[in-house]
Amino acid sequence: MAMTAVARETVFALRRQIAKIEGTLPERLQAPASAAPRAVADADRTVVRRGIAVAAPDAFLGTGVERLDAALSGGLPKAALSEIHGAETRDAGAVAAFALSLASLILKPGPSFEQSTHGQGILDQGASKQGSAFKQELPVLWIGTQEIFREAGFPYARGLHASFGIAPEQLLFSEAAKLTDALWIAEEAAKMTALAAVILEVRGNPRGLDLTATRRLHARAQGAGRPVFLLRQAAAPEPTAAPVRLIVSPAPAVARETIAGPLAGSIGRPAFTVTIGKSRTALPGQFTLEWNPDERRFDERRGEERRRRQWAENPVPVVSLSGGRKDPAAAAGAVLAFPSAGAPAAGDQPSRQQRAAHLGPRRAG
Amino acid sequence: MISHRDSNAQRISALDERAEALHLKPGMGIADARAMHPSIDIVEADPEADRRLLEGLADWCDRYTPLVALDGTDGLFLDITGCTHLFGGERAMLDDILSRFFHQGFDVRAGLASTPGAAWAAAHFCGDRIVVSGGEDVLLAPLPLAALRIDPATRASLESVGLRTAGAVMAAPRAPLARRFGGSLLLRLDQALGRLDEAVSPRLPVAPLSVERHLAEPVVLTEDIERLVQMLATTLKSDLERRGEGARSLALLLFRVDGAVSRIALGTSRPLREPLLIQKLFHERLAALEQHIDAGYGFDLVRLSVLSAVAFDMPQADLAGEVSDDGADIADFADRIRARLGEGAVLKPVTVESHLPERAVATIPFTEAPRRTTPPKKPDRMQAPMTIFPPERPIRLFRSPEPIEVPATEMPEGPPLNFRWRRASYRVMRAEGPERIAAEWWREASGDAAASTRDYFRIEDADGRRYWLYRQGLYGSSEIPPRWFLHGVFA
């Protein structure tokens, strides 16, 4: 190959541009002979998905729940528009909480995100320049129409800080009188790399929020490399440009854990039922997630199994065993009424009807 | 002819030349006037509209000087100190003012003098006269007493003792005049003659910096205005740089050919001096105001003023010459949004020390936080008194708590068993609480303390939605029965 170095660089820069436009990975393109072995190795490692610009391994926001991440093949795309639906306006608390916990995962300091902000390449030059320490301080912008803030309540900064660790200084709210204004703000915001995430909350199926509008949002999110969460309360699914649509509904919380076991009648950590409504790669599925505000991570609720696993991780008895007897520890693990191998996708939670029936009309506590 | 109601009778308050020619006079009863001339056209006086018109004219007079004051219901004071050379001298300026007003359809009398009092007298009694400095007494001497701006009672009593002109008053000894007619007469006289300073209080604060451009050919297109804004902002930049300041609020004044003035103001969340950014902000503002600005026959004067300026610190650039500053991006973004959608379009929450949930967070329009020079404190500032179990707070709060119907509770002081909210019924499966939050007695003036005490419950309904309810008031302690409200939604 008798190309000069400069000419080769030019060709590669052009190819990268083409690849960015077409949505394929530049490393997949024909590489110069000298760099061939590395390129092949890279190609094995990366995942390419249609519609998402460049699917590097760190282009996804992992929820931390293995089954959900696996179903979404890596997590939610970071540089994209993601739709989060709620069936009714009164579910707005759960829908907003799910989006905020995703934002909280983005802002969360930790080793897993240290590596993710480096070497992003052409996609995210703005982000790769700055370390993760910067990213933790970036604000989250929550845009809503006046209608939704009136119907579902205005975001409350103290609660957001306590539940998601997003400090009031990191929050920006924008209230627009009309949907067109809200969309305009969202488009302007989606272009910015100085925001950690943009949340746009809309109620119902307004005409302005069509395929074109969402495509514009999606394109800007791709360009900036920042997620845009489109929260749609009380909306029916309709065609949009978002690669992923999740349907979130609240799930009954489990009781608070105390040292003496669950506290009857108490309301523990927030829980959601997340259904994958649309995804280009994912299989449909339903997951019950529990948000852990203290550690800022999701746990999947698998009922008894989770408790058993925790017990196995930390098998220290609360009360010291009396001496002079046979060690009962070997038998303790097997005594279980319902081993939950092959649990349904929804976890071990009873369905709503079942639950209502077995709890009866009175409250449990 | 314009009528007004004065002591229960319709009287003529103003009339035009043709009505004057019919020997009608102000103060005459409408019935008499009608009897004399049945065909006259009478319009009810509208002082509000007159006031608005005068203020509009005052706005327009901003093109001559920033110091414009209203005088009564029909006059304007223009402090043109140091402005005349811009218009080619006093005579040229006066002619310019008079001709422009004439073309707008106003009949204007103007006087120009070195004291407001003499100028007022010249305008009212001589018309279009320029009084040289020191010539005030010559001007005033032959004029009637009304030229001294004294109240009618004083004027009548002066006339009753034979002092009928200002010159006569000036010639009279001062001490008896002060003793008999009070200090205000001599005050007015001294002010008119320049012995005492009289301040004209301008309507609008004077902008610290402003640049303007007179156009030979009026502009109509928004694009042209934006280009002019950038040009003016470039001029402004050097001024701001010399002062070491950046603009925090700007105003663009567009003077229309026919006298209407559009004033477009905007604020920025950080000191600004970059012409391109200023132009962008006005681009958004003009786009938002497109319907409200009527270019008409075009604007012949465009002025850009800095209404307030603060110290501007230059950011330190790195070795590559690049300044990486995310704060700037967000400030620019917020300014753009606010330029188009108004001040409240970008809000940021501020925590307030209060235990009332709705008062504990205030949302204020976004301004850039002061640059942090010290690292943030590690102990969390949110929880000023450290509590081991901070109370749970909802993630969304209703602007005003929504009333709910609670038919029954298990215990009088306990949580509800079910409730109705927005015409849907909810069954309470689990509840935590109560958390009692009393009213802030140091704020509210008075009232029943027990009636405003709230007991908050965190409840979960059958579908797993978590709400924050409260009961206002206590059972048995006051005659008002307790009421229930839904205040927030939990995650």
- Which A residues in the span 156-175 are in contact with B, Cβ-Cβ below 8 Å? 156-164, 167-169, 171-175
Whether residues A25 and A163 share a domain: the answer is no
What average pLDDT does range B266-291 have in this prediction?
86
Position A186 in a domain = yes
pLDDT digits (tens, 9 = 90+) for B217-241: 888 888 888 999 999 999 999 989 8
pLDDT computed for residue B182 by the predictor = 81
What is the extent of the structural domain holding A265?
64-304
What average pLDDT does range B447-466 have in this prediction?
84
- Max distance between CA atoms of chain B, in angstroms, equals 97
Nearest to A58 by CA among A41, A71, A76: A76
Instruction: Give the number of domains in chain A.
Output: 2
Q: What is the DSSP string of A71-100?
A: HTTSSEESSSEEEEEESSGGGHHHHHHHHH
Kindly tell me if the per-residue pLDDT of A283 is higher than 80: no
Tokens standing for residue B303: 């002025």
pLDDT computed for residue A58 by the predictor = 66
pLDDT computed for residue B148 by the predictor = 83
What average pLDDT does range A231-259 have in this prediction?
89
Kindly tell me if the per-residue pLDDT of A125 is higher than 50: no
pLDDT computed for residue A42 by the predictor = 44
What average pLDDT does range B331-348 have in this prediction?
86
pLDDT computed for residue A30 by the predictor = 40
Beta-strand runs (E) in B196-345: 209-219, 245-256, 261-272, 299-311
Domain B209-316+332-340 class?
alpha beta
Task: For residue B279, list its beta bridge partners.
Answer: none
Helix, strand or coil for residue B106? coil
Position A279 in a domain = yes
- Comparing CB atoms, the residue among A185, A250, A265 nearest residue B430 is A265
Whether residues A68 and A38 share a domain: the answer is no
Taking an 8 Å cut-off on Cβ atoms, the answer to whether B357 and A90 are in contact is no
Cα angle for residues A238, A240, A242 (degrees, 5° grid): 130
Position A237 in a domain = yes
Beta-strand runs (E) in B182-233: 209-219
- Comparing CB atoms, the residue among A155, A172, A359 nearest residue B396 is A155
Whether residues A171 and A230 share a domain: the answer is yes
Whether residues A15 and A144 share a domain: the answer is no
Position A200 in a domain = yes
Fold of B2-45: MutS, DNA mismatch repair protein, domain I (3.40.1170)
Kindly tell me if the per-residue pLDDT of B473 is higher than 80: yes
pLDDT computed for residue B321 by the predictor = 58
Between B3 and B308, the more confident residue is B308
Q: How far is A152 from chain B (nearest CA, A)?
A: 7
Is residue A104 within 8 Å of residue A241, measured between CB atoms?
A: no
Kindly tell me if the per-residue pLDDT of B353 is higher than 70: yes
The secondary element (H helix, E strand) that includes residue A108 is: none
pLDDT computed for residue A97 by the predictor = 94
Mutate to test the interface with B, among A125, A128, A158, A169 (most CBs of B within 10 A): A158
For B471, other C-beta atoms within 10 Å of its C-beta total 25
Whole-structure pTM value:
0.71
Torsion angle of the four alpha carbons A55, A58, A64, A66, in this order, in degrees rounded to the nearest 10: 50
- Domain's final residue, options A286, A304, A322: A304
Whether residues A146 and A258 share a domain: the answer is yes
Question: In chain B, which residue's Cα lies nearest the Cα of A149?
Answer: B398
Whether residues A22 and A116 share a domain: the answer is no
Is residue A174 within 8 Å of residue B347, measured between CB atoms?
A: yes
Taking an 8 Å cut-off on Cβ atoms, the answer to whether B350 and A134 are in contact is no
Name the residue type at position B486: L
The owner of tokens 């259904």 is A275
- Which A residues in the span 181-240 are in contact with B, Cβ-Cβ below 8 Å? 181, 184-185, 188-189, 192-195
Kindly tell me if the per-residue pLDDT of B61 is higher than 60: yes
pLDDT computed for residue A309 by the predictor = 58
Q: Which residues, other chains included, contact A297 with Cβ-Cβ below 8 Å and sequence gap of 6+?
A: A64, A105, A108
Contacts of A189 in chain B (CB under 8 A): 333
Tokens standing for residue B454: 């709230």
- Chain mean position to CA B270: 21
- Chain mean position to CA B219: 27
Residue A316 buriedness (CB in 10 A; 0-12 / 13-18 / 19+): exposed
- Which A residues in the span 273-302 are in contact with B, Cβ-Cβ below 8 Å? 291
Position A264 in a domain = yes
Kindly tell me if the per-residue pLDDT of A116 is higher than 50: no
Between A204 and A309, the more confident residue is A204
Position A33 in a domain = yes
Mutate to test the interface with A, among B270, B280, B323, B326 (most CBs of A within 10 A): B326
Q: How do the domains of chain B map onto residue ranges? A: 2-45, 68-78+87-193, 209-316+332-340, 396-489
Report the alpha-carbon distance of residue A218 to residue A180 in Å, rounded.
16
Kindly tell me if the per-residue pLDDT of A198 is higher than 90: yes
Position A354 in a domain = no
Name the residue type at position B216: A
The answer to whether A154 contacts chain B (CB < 8 Å) is yes
Kindly tell me if the per-residue pLDDT of B145 is higher than 60: yes
Report the alpha-carbon distance of residue B353 to residue B359 in Å, rounded.
8
Whether residues A171 and A217 share a domain: the answer is yes
Q: Which residues, other chains included, contact A96 with Cβ-Cβ below 8 Å and sequence gap of 6+?
A: A152, A155, A199, A201, A231, B395, B396, B491
What average pLDDT does range B293-303 have in this prediction?
86
Contacts of B333 in chain A (CB under 8 A): 188-189, 192, 194
Q: Which residues, other chains included, contact B151 with Cβ-Cβ below 8 Å and sequence gap of 6+?
A: B184
What is the ipTM, given to two decimal places? 0.72
Residue B171 buriedness (CB in 10 A; 0-12 / 13-18 / 19+): exposed
Contacts of B390 in chain A (CB under 8 A): 162
Taking an 8 Å cut-off on Cβ atoms, the answer to whether B489 and A251 are in contact is no
Position A53 in a domain = no
Taking an 8 Å cut-off on Cβ atoms, the answer to whether A271 and B464 are in contact is yes
pLDDT computed for residue A182 by the predictor = 93
Whether residues A137 and A226 share a domain: the answer is yes
Q: How much is the mean pLDDT over chain A?
A: 74
Q: How much is the mean pLDDT over chain B?
A: 83
Whether residues A26 and A78 share a domain: the answer is no
Q: Phi/psi of residue A93, each to 5°?
A: -60, -45
Taking an 8 Å cut-off on Cβ atoms, the answer to whether B345 and A169 are in contact is no
Instruction: Specify the range with the lowest mean pLDDT, choosing from A120-124, B156-160, B381-385.
Output: A120-124
